[in-house]
Amino acid sequence: MMETKLPVVEVAVAWIKHGERVLTVYNASWGGFSFPMTKRREWVDSLTPTGVGKELWEDAAARAYAECLGRTCVPKFLLETKLVQRSDREGNYKHYHFQVFQVEINEEIPLPGTLAEWLELDDFNQRRPISPTTLALIDELRRGGVLPS
Residue-wise pLDDT for 94-133, tens only, equals 999 999 999 999 988 888 889 999 999 999 999 999 999 9
> Around 129, how many Cα atoms within 13 Å sit in the side-chain half-sphere?
12
Q: Does pLDDT of 146 surpass 90? A: yes
Domain positions in the chain: 8-143
Range 8-143: architecture per CATH: Alpha-Beta Complex (3.90)
- Residue 46 pLDDT: 81
pTM: 0.90
How far is the first Cα of the chain from the last one, in angstroms, to the nearest whole number?
40
Q: How far apart are CA 68 and CA 13, in angstroms?
A: 12
Task: List pLDDT tens digits, range 28-85.
Answer: 888 999 999 999 998 988 887 888 889 999 999 999 999 999 999 999 999 999 999 8
